[in-house]
Each structure stands twice: as structure tokens, then as C-alpha cells.
């Protein structure tokens, strides 16, 4: 045995340490183990040294303390990337939603852009007197009003509007003869696209834009429409409720439209536009444009420019509006009819002369040969000259009111109504 | 088998070295290439050791253990390489450099080992104060403040590279602490002394008890060293199976199995001894169930008397 001893016959510290670390040979290990079997002191030494080593190892393997080390600036700002990424993700999501929202309104624009030809091409059945109401195919800008109309109203669109879709595109979408209602709506929308804007659109026009350029709100980039996103979202809910109601009414009114239009109606003849895809009702959503007649024998139907109606006296939203020249007829949600002779500046309520609840008012063109019960004090030009007693041919243009039972009344001045 | 080129052949034989190691012996020489490799790997030059001093340190460590081979056996270069690769040569060079008083070596030693040594002392003593005192005392000794016969005596000179230097330091601390505890425990006054109750008369016959005592002595004394260590560490020292497993480098379950097997073998051997003495099997089992307090067997004393011959010879020398 070569191990030296510090205390006589005990193995030295190196032998005990090497034994604990399994660093001894077989022979030396056996000698040390034999000694440990009989020496309590060395067993205690080995046990204490081994325990201290295990404690040190446990401390060394413990997770080290995080020291503050100088790091690069991008590492110091690494936590900023998290909110930045969230903000970018939110922005992208918002843009996607808005684009999708804009696409949802896109069909109206596309229809309006792709159907300029039917509106510009007068139907074969149009009377010669109605020809001037047609819009020229290339008229991105509405046709200038006639000289006599220019006396009453300024030019509607001082700035050019986007050009409509080429005729080739419109030719791919022929009108459907079996769906007069749809055709009428399309024509109204096309007219709205090509004609000067109605009072409702003029009212919605931003201050910086002329009233006639409001039609570009359907074709302007989606980013511009986002500015009114919050307002439209709130109004959209109300419009959805009214839309469902008006769909029912339109469905009921379809036979009536067909009844009065056995022959194809001239372009722009259907002057009533429901609020199916129109802006909210609170802002006068019924937006149809009145074509500028080439010649107007009756000043009632003379279009002198966009109207700017004020809110109805009842304070309720209008569900249907019809206009004829300076005249405006509006039905509020309660079914009350209001008449304005100054393009919506002032309103007066029309006494109820119909049954049920008025739900729609529209401007209709005349039907040749059709007669109607002449009012007591007709204001029409030909009333009373009919050989049939109590019946008179309908005037060239008149207002038609429908109640919730799909019954109609007609009026030439908007004040006196006669059952049709 | 002599190496092709050796440190001993290059050095002048018979010149005593500074470490008190025996002179270079031709048949205990080092492989020159291996010594160069070790010289470069442990950066001994950084500790202020010359190449000759480093070679002499290696030769002293190898000669003291004969490269881990039996005495009178010559080590081949491969055996030398195996031996030195099993040693902590870098720690050995650092310890010798510190023992020589090299400042750079001491700075490194303090930077690397001071904190672990303090933690080990605290863990061994179980006290922050005692641990720091124990570590500081050892530091003073390591620095060579103790002078014996006009020379600085540095305990680091007793380190020969077997095992890590840190393990050696921990074991040295443990030795100091155990020796101090054993010394001071004898000086502690006995606070209370309860007079033991008078022993009841033994139920087993004295002859059977004497046979049992003799059988226990023969059985325990004849067990292997590892079994005796397990029995002593578990029953006398009260160590846990985990502590014993860490010392032996085996799993805790292995220690448990070996301990259980040793107990069964000892019981079996005692029964055999009793039966050889003329007792029947039932009588032997009945005698084995005797009250231990009736036995005059001191297991601790029995184990102390059964020391290995190697250390007995060391003690005698």
C-alpha cells in the first residue's frame, strides 16, 4: 500500500478523494474500501466530501442568474416589435374588411358601369317627345339643360364624371324582357349613373365636391368610402330593416308596374326607386335622377336642378320619395305623405285621402289610352274633356301612391289623390 | 520494455529534485513524446514551471505509483499514456506551481477554487461561520504559513494528481472537520447521566450466548470489504443508501440489494457456525433470536480490529 497517511494509518486525502471519484485502480480501491469498512472516521470524511461535492454540483447546475449584458439596439427594442406587429396586423385586417365591404357595394357600381347603353339608347316605343330625355352614350357629363331650364338651376355637374363602361360591355348584358321590374330598376340605376344627381346624392356630397360629382361616390376608390364607414355602418342597420320591408313592397308593386307598363316604359319613365340598395333613409335615400326634359309644357315636371330637401316635419325618416320638377313627395315611416313645392326646402302634410298606410310614392309616365277617375278639381290639362263621364285620360306624368294593401292612388299635383 | 526515449535518460541520473522525490531511475523513465504532449496540454509554462521541473513532477508521480502497475513491473509507452491520461496532470502542475509560490498560479488558484472551497467547507461543517473559518484555516496552510524545520510546508505537495484538485481540497476539508469534531467531542461535558436500569437476567443459556458471540465474530470478520463497509456505514454511521451509493459510484438500488444480500449471508453463516458447534437447526435459530443486549459483542470494536493489512502495515511503519 503506497498511500500515505496524515493520521497514522488512515489513507490520505488524495486516496479518499480518488476513491470517491472512482479514480483508483482495482487494487488501491480494494485497499481503501477495506479500510473504509472498519474506519468510521474515513467513512465520515468520504461521506462529507462527497456531500459537499454534490452540493456544489447542484449549485452549478442550477439555472444561472440572468446578468445584464449590453445588447444590440434591435434586441433592446425587441419588445417593441410585438405591439408593432399587432398594429400592422390590425391595419391589414381593417383594410381587408373595408375592401371586402367595398366589394360588397361593388355590384351596383358594376351594373351602373356596364349598362350605360340601354339607358342611352331610347327604346323603340319611346315617343318622339321623350327622345331628348335619353342621355348620349358618351355623356359622362350630363347633358346640359335646355336654355329655359338653365334659367332655373345652375349646371348640375361642373366637373366631368368617369366615363361609363364601353358599349360592348353593355351589349353583353341585354335587358331581360321577362323581368320588367328588374329592367326598370336597372334603367333607374343607369339613369342615376349617367344623369345629374338627385337631391339625396347632392345632399351626401362632401363639401369639397360639387353636387353633380357625387355620382362618383359609386366609382371612387374604396379608400374614399372608408371615411364614411362608421356613419354608413350605423345607417346600414337601419337600411337593412327598411330594405326587407321595401322588398316586400316592391314585390307587391311589381304587378302594378307591369299593369301600367304593358308596353316597355321609356327610359327614365320609372321614377320610383326603392331603397333596396340605396343609402340609409335618414339621408333621403331614394336617389333617382330626373332627366332634363328637352321641352316641358308643364312647369310641375320641369327639372331645374338637384333638390335639397330638409328633414320631414314629422322627424321620421322617409321611406319613399318621388320628385317632379320642384315638387317632392315623401312618405315617412308612419305613412304620412308630405309635399314640398320648393325642392324640399319646406314641407306640408297632405291630408290622407287613401285607405291603409301609404308605403310608396312614385312618379309615373302616362299610358296612352288609360283613363282614371278624374278628381273633383283636376289640375290636369285634359281632364274633363273625356266623353266618358267621371273618367279622364291620365295626364302625361303623375304621381302614384301605394298603400300597404297594394292599392294605388294617383295625383297630378301631389295634393289631391284619386283612387286608381 | 523500455521506452525509446525517456526523460530519465535525458536527465542526469542521481540529481536530487526539488520536491524530495526519489532520483530518476532508468527503468522508471518517461516517454519523451508523451511528456511533451502533457507539457503543452496543461500549460505548465504559464505557471512558471520549466520543462525539466515539469518532467520531474511527472516522474515523481509515476514512480510513486509505478504507473498504476504492480511493483517491479515496467510500463510500456501505452501504459504510461493510459496512466497519465487517468491523472489530472493540469491540476498537478497548478498545485506544484502554487507550492513553489508562483504568483500567477496562486491568482488562478484563488480565482477558480476559493469560492468552491468556501462552499464545500460550509456544506461540510453545516455552518456558515464554521465553514468560513475552516476554509480560511486551510488556505493559510496551503499558502505555506506553516513552517516545519525551517521550511514552508505546503499541503499541496501531497497532491499527486489522482483525482481532481477540488476533490482533494474537499476531502482535506472533511478530514480537518472530522478530526476537529472528534477531538472536541471528547471534551464536551455530559449534561445528563441516567443510571442504566439493571439488566434483566438473560433468557438464553450462557453457553449458547458464547457460541453465538463466536459465530458472529467469525462471520463478520470473514465478510468482504464492501459488505463490511455497507454494514458499518448503514448501521454504525447511519448513512443513507443514497450517500453510500454516491461514495461507491453505484445506484441506490444496488446498494440496497447488496446490503440485503449481506444480511442474509451473515445470518446464514451464523446459523452454519452454530450448527457446526453442535446445535440443532431450531436451537440455532432460537439462539439467533437472543436479545442483543445479552451479547458481549461490540460490532464497532469488531470492525475496528479487522482492518486491512495494508493500512496496518502503514501504521506500523
B241: distance to nearest CA of chain A, Å?
A: 11
Contacts of B65 in chain A (CB under 8 A): 2
CB–CB contact B163 A18 (8 Å): yes
3-state secondary structure A244-273: HHHHHHHHHHHHHHHHCCCCCCCCCCCCCC
Contacts of A49 in chain B (CB under 8 A): 120, 124, 167, 170-171, 173-174
Contacts of A1 in chain B (CB under 8 A): 310-311, 313-314
- pLDDT of residue A176 exceeding 90, the answer is no
**pLDDT tens digits, A125-173:** 444 444 444 444 433 344 444 444 334 444 444 444 443 434 433 334 4
What does the alpha-carbon distance between residue A197 and residue A287 come to, in Å, rounded to a whole number?
8
For the segment A323-333, the average pLDDT, to the nearest whole number, is 83
Grid cell digits, residue A294: 328637352
**Which residue, among A50, A58, A62, would best test binding to B if mutated, counting the most B CBs under 10 Å from its CB?**
A50
Q: Where in chain B is the domain with CATH 1.10.10.10?
A: 206-305
Contacts of B121 in chain A (CB under 8 A): 52
| Burial of residue A91 (number of CB atoms within 10 Å: 0-12, 13-18, 19+) | exposed
pLDDT class for A298, splitting at 50, 70, 90? very low
Q: Where in chain B is the domain with CATH 1.10.1740?
A: 97-185
**pLDDT tens digits, A354-408:** 888 888 888 887 654 444 444 444 444 443 444 444 444 555 678 888 888 888 8
Grid cell digits, residue A235: 345607417
**pLDDT tens digits, A301-327:** 444 444 455 678 888 888 888 887 778
Phi (first) and psi of residue A321, to 5 degrees: -135, 140
Q: Collapsing DSSP states into helix, strand and coil, what is residue A158?
A: coil
CB–CB contact A43 B306 (8 Å): no
pLDDT of residue A119: 42
What's the whole-model pTM score? 0.44
Phi-psi region of A414 (alpha: psi -120 to 50; beta: other; left: phi over 0): left
Q: b vs e for B275-299, b when ≥16 Cβ sit within 10 Å of the residue's Cβ? A: eebebeeeebeebeebeeebbebeb
Q: Collapsing DSSP states into helix, strand and coil, what is residue B65?
A: helix
CB–CB contact A9 B120 (8 Å): no
For the segment A81-94, the average pLDDT, to the nearest whole number, is 89
CB–CB contact A56 B163 (8 Å): no
Residue B99 host element (H or E): helix B89-99
Percentages helix, strand, coil for chain B, rounded to the nearest 5? 65, 0, 30
CB–CB contact A48 B236 (8 Å): no
| Cα atoms found within 13 Å of the Cα of residue A273, Cβ hemisphere only | 26
Q: Collapsing DSSP states into helix, strand and coil, what is residue A373?
A: strand
Q: At what angle do helices B32-41 and B77-85 cross, to 10 degrees?
A: 20
Report the chain A residue with the minimal C-alpha distance to residue B243.
Answer: A47
DSSP structure class, residue A321: E
Grid cell digits, residue B210: 458464547
- In order, the DSSP letters of A138-175 are T-SSPPPPPHHHHTTS--S-SS--PPPPPHHHHHTS--
Tally of residues, chain B: 317
Query: Which of A243, A248, A252 shows the shortest CA–CA distance to A278?
Result: A243
CATH number attached to the domain at B97-185: 1.10.1740
pLDDT of residue A68: 52
**CA A411 to mean position of chain CA atoms:** 35
What CA–CA distances, in Å, run from B112 to A362, A418, B106, B116, B117?
Answer: 99, 112, 10, 8, 9
What does the alpha-carbon distance between residue B203 and residue B216 come to, in Å, rounded to a whole number?
19
B30: distance to nearest CA of chain A, Å?
A: 20
A29: distance to nearest CA of chain B, Å?
A: 10
CB–CB contact A48 B182 (8 Å): no
Report the chain B residue with the minimal C-alpha distance to residue A34.
Answer: B225
Phi (first) and psi of residue A277, to 5 degrees: -120, 20
Contact B299, B236 (CB under 8 A): yes
Question: Position of cell 479518499?
Answer: A16
CB–CB contact B314 A33 (8 Å): no
Name residues whose C-beta falls within 8 Å of residue A295's C-beta, 6 or more positions apart in sequence: A129, A132, A146
Query: Which of B302, B296, B312, B282 shows the shortest CA–CA distance to B218?
Result: B302
pLDDT of residue B187: 61
Contact A135, A195 (CB under 8 A): yes
Question: Position of cell 331645374?
Answer: A304
Contacts of B167 in chain A (CB under 8 A): 17-18, 20-21, 49, 53
B126: distance to nearest CA of chain A, Å?
A: 10
Q: Collapsing DSSP states into helix, strand and coil, what is residue B74?
A: coil
Grid cell digits, residue B294: 445479552
Contacts of B183 in chain A (CB under 8 A): none
Contacts of B68 in chain A (CB under 8 A): 25
Contacts of B231 in chain A (CB under 8 A): 37
Each of the 317 residues of chain B gets a pLDDT tens digit; together they read 333 344 444 333 333 343 444 444 445 577 888 888 888 888 888 888 888 888 888 888 888 888 878 777 788 888 888 888 888 989 999 998 888 888 888 899 999 998 899 999 999 988 888 899 999 888 888 877 666 667 777 888 889 888 899 999 999 999 989 888 887 776 655 555 555 666 666 566 677 777 888 888 788 777 888 888 888 888 888 888 988 888 888 899 999 999 899 888 888 888 888 888 888 888 888 777 777 666 666 777 666 655 445 554 554 44
Grid cell digits, residue A45: 470524511
Q: Shortest CB distance from A56 goes to which of B116, B159, B236?
A: B116
| Cα atoms found within 13 Å of the Cα of residue B53, Cβ hemisphere only | 16
Q: What order do you get walking across the sheet with A327-332 strand by strand?
A: A318-324, A327-332, A337-340, A348-350
Contact B100, B152 (CB under 8 A): no
Q: Compare A77 and B119 and report the one with higher pLDDT.
A: B119
Name residues whose C-beta falls within 8 Å of residue B264's C-beta, 6 or more positions apart in sequence: none
What does the alpha-carbon distance between residue A38 and residue B220 come to, in Å, rounded to a whole number?
11
3-state secondary structure A327-389: EEEEEECCCCEEEECCCCCCCEEECCCCCCCEEEEEEEECCCCCEEECCCCCCCCCCCCCCCC
Report the chain A residue with the minimal C-alpha distance to residue B221.
Answer: A38
Q: Are strands A327-332 and A337-340 parallel, antiparallel or unpaired?
A: antiparallel
| Burial of residue A335 (number of CB atoms within 10 Å: 0-12, 13-18, 19+) | middle
What does the alpha-carbon distance between residue A317 and residue A333 come to, in Å, rounded to a whole number?
6
Contacts of A41 in chain B (CB under 8 A): 178-179, 182
B123: distance to nearest CA of chain A, Å?
A: 5
A30: distance to nearest CA of chain B, Å?
A: 7
Query: Which of A315, A289, A420 shows the shortest CA–CA distance to A330?
Result: A315
From the options 2.20.25.160, 1.10.10.60, 1.10.1200.10, 1.10.10.10, give the CATH code of B206-305: 1.10.10.10
What does the alpha-carbon distance between residue A379 and residue A400 come to, in Å, rounded to a whole number?
15
Residue A338 host element (H or E): strand A337-340
Contacts of A54 in chain B (CB under 8 A): 246
Q: Collapsing DSSP states into helix, strand and coil, what is residue B240?
A: coil
A36: distance to nearest CA of chain B, Å?
A: 6
CB–CB contact B163 A17 (8 Å): yes
Beta-carbon contacts below 8 Å between A and B? 175
Q: What order do you get walking across the sheet with A358-365 strand by strand?
A: A358-365, A397-403, A408-411, A418-419
Mean pLDDT, rounded, of chain A: 60
**CA B100 to mean position of chain CA atoms:** 26
Question: Position of cell 458481549?
Answer: B296
What does the alpha-carbon distance between residue B266 and residue A361 come to, in Å, rounded to a whole number?
117
**pLDDT tens digits, A3-36:** 444 445 788 898 999 998 888 888 888 888 888 8
Grid cell digits, residue A141: 357629363
CA end-to-end distance (rounded Å), chain B: 32
Contact A310, A344 (CB under 8 A): yes
CB–CB contact B167 A18 (8 Å): yes
CB–CB contact A39 B86 (8 Å): no
CB–CB contact A31 B308 (8 Å): yes
Contacts of B115 in chain A (CB under 8 A): none
DSSP structure class, residue B31: B
The C-alpha R_g of chain A, in whole angstroms, comes to: 43
Grid cell digits, residue A317: 325618416
CB–CB contact A47 B239 (8 Å): yes
CB–CB contact A13 B158 (8 Å): yes
What does the alpha-carbon distance between residue A370 and residue A220 come to, in Å, rounded to a whole number?
43
Residue A392 host element (H or E): strand A391-393
Q: At what angle do helices A40-61 and B241-248 cross, to 10 degrees?
A: 90
Angle, vertex CA B193, rays to CA B192 and CA B196, nearest 5: 145
DSSP structure class, residue A86: H
**CA A124 to mean position of chain CA atoms:** 36
What CA–CA distances, in Å, run from B43 to A174, B48, B164?
Answer: 97, 10, 17
Contact B311, A2 (CB under 8 A): no
B202: distance to nearest CA of chain A, Å?
A: 30
Amino acid at each position: 500500500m503506497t498511500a500515505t497517511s496524515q493520521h497514522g494509518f488512515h489513507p490520505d486525502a488524495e486516496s479518499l478523494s480518488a476513491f470517491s471519484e472512482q479514480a483508483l485502480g482495482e487494487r488501491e480501491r480494494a485497499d481503501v474500501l477495506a479500510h473504509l469498512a472498519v474506519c468510521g472516521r474515513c467513512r465520515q470524511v468520504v461521506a462529507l466530501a462527497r456531500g459537499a461535492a454534490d452540493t456544489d454540483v447542484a449549485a452549478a447546475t442550477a439555472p444561472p442568474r440572468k446578468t445584464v449584458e449590453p445588447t444590440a439596439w434591435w434586441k433592446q427594442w425587441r419588445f417593441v416589435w410585438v405591439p408593432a406587429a399587432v398594429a400592422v396586423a390590425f391595419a391589414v385586417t381593417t383594410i381587408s374588411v373595408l375592401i371586402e365591404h367595398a366589394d360588397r357595394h361593388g355590384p351596383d357600381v358594376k351594373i351602373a358601369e356596364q349598362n350605360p347603353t340601354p339607358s342611352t339608347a331610347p327604346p323603340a316605343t319611346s315617343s318622339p317627345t321623350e327622345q331628348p330625355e335619353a342621355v348620349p352614350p358618351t355623356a359622362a357629363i350630363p347633358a346640359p339643360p335646355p336654355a329655359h331650364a338653365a334659367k332655373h338651376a345652375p349646371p348640375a355637374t361642373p366637373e366631368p364624371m368617369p366615363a361609363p363602361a364601353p358599349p360592348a360591355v353593355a351589349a353583353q348584358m341585354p335587358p331581360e324582357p321577362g323581368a320588367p321590374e328588374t329592367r326598370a330598376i336597372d334603367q333607374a340605376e343607369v339613369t342615376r349613373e349617367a344623369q345629374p344627381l338627385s337631391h339625396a346624392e347632392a345632399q351626401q356630397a362632401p363639401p369639397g365636391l360639387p353636387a353633380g360629382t357625387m355620382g362618383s361616390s359609386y366609382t371612387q376608390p374604396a379608400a374614399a368610402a372608408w371615411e364614411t364607414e362608421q356613419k354608413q355602418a350605423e345607417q346600414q342597420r337601419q337600411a337593412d330593416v327598411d330594405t326587407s320591408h321595401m322588398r316586400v313592397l316592391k314585390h307587391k308593386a311589381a304587378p302594378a308596374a307591369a299593369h301600367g307598363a304593358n308596353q316597355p316604359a321609356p327610359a327614365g319613365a320609372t321614377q320610383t326607386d326603392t331603397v333596396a340598395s340605396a343609402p340609409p333613409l335618414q339621408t333621403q335615400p331614394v336617389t333617382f335622377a330626373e332627366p332634363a326634359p328637352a321641352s316641358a309644357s308643364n312647369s310641375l315636371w320641369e327639372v331645374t336642378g338637384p333638390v335639397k330637401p330638409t328633414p320631414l316635419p314629422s322627424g321620421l325618416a322617409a321611406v319613399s320619395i318621388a320628385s317632379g320638377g320642384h315638387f317632392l313627395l315623401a312618405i315617412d315611416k308612419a305613412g304620412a305623405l308630405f309635399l314640398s313645392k320648393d325642392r324640399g326646402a319646406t314641407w306640408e302634410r297632405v291630408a290622407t285621402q287613401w285607405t291603409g298606410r301609404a308605403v310608396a310614392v312614385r312618379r309615373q309616365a302616362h299610358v296612352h289610352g288609360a283613363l282614371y277617375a278624374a278628381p273633383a278639381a283636376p289640375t290636369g290639362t285634359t281632364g274633363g274633356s273625356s266623353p266618358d263621364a267621371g273618367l279622364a285620360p291620365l295626364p302625361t306624368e303623375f304621381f302614384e301612391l301605394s298603400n300597404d294593401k297594394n292599392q294605388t292612388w294617383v295625383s297630378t299635383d301631389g295634393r289631391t289623390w284619386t283612387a286608381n | 520494455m523500455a521506452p525509446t526515449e525517456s526523460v530519465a535518460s535525458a536527465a542526469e541520473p542521481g540529481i536530487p529534485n526539488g520536491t524530495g522525490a526519489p532520483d530518476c531511475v532508468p527503468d522508471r523513465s518517461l516517454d519523451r513524446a508523451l511528456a511533451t504532449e502533457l507539457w503543452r496540454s496543461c500549460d505548465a509554462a504559464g505557471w512558471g514551471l520549466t520543462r525539466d521541473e515539469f518532467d520531474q513532477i511527472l516522474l515523481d508521480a509515476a514512480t510513486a505509483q509505478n504507473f498504476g502497475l504492480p511493483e517491479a513491473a515496467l510500463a510500456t509507452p501505452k501504459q504510461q499514456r493510459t496512466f497519465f491520461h487517468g491523472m489530472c496532470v493540469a491540476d498537478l502542475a497548478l498545485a506544484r506551481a502554487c507550492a513553489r509560490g508562483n504568483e500567477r498560479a496562486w491568482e488562478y488558484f484563488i480565482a477558480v477554487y476559493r469560492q468552491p472551497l468556501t462552499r464545500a467547507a460550509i456544506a461540510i461543517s453545516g455552518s456558515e461561520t464554521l465553514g468560513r473559518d475552516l476554509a480560511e484555516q486551510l488556505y493559510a496552510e496551503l499558502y505555506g504559513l506553516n513552517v516545519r524545520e525551517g521550511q514552508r510546508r505546503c499541503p499541496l505537495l501531497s497532491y499527486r494528481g489522482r483525482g481532481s484538485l477540488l476533490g482533494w481540497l474537499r476531502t482535506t476539508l472533511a478530514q480537518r472537520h472530522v478530526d476537529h469534531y472528534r477531538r472536541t467531542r471528547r471534551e464536551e461535558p455530559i449534561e445528563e447521566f441516567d443510571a442504566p436500569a439493571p439488566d434483566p437476567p438473560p433468557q438464553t443459556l450462557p453457553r449458547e450466548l458464547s457460541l453465538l458471540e463466536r459465530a458472529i465474530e467469525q462471520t463478520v470478520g470473514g465478510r468482504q470489504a464492501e459488505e463490511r463497509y455497507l454494514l458499518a456505514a448503514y448501521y454504525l454511521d447511519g448513512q443513507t443508501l443514497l450517500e453510500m451509493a454516491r461514495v461507491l459510484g453505484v445506484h441506490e438500488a444496488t446498494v440496497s440489494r447488496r446490503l440485503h444480500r449481506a444480511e442474509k449471508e451473515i445470518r446464514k453463516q451464523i446459523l452454519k457456525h452454530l450448527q457446526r458447534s453442535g446445535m440443532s437447526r431450531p436451537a440455532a435459530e432460537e439462539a439467533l433470536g437472543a436479545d442483543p443486549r445479552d451479547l458481549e459483542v461490540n460490532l464497532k470494536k469488531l470492525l475496528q480490529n479487522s482492518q486491512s493489512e495494508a493500512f496496518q502495515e502503514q501504521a506500523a511503519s
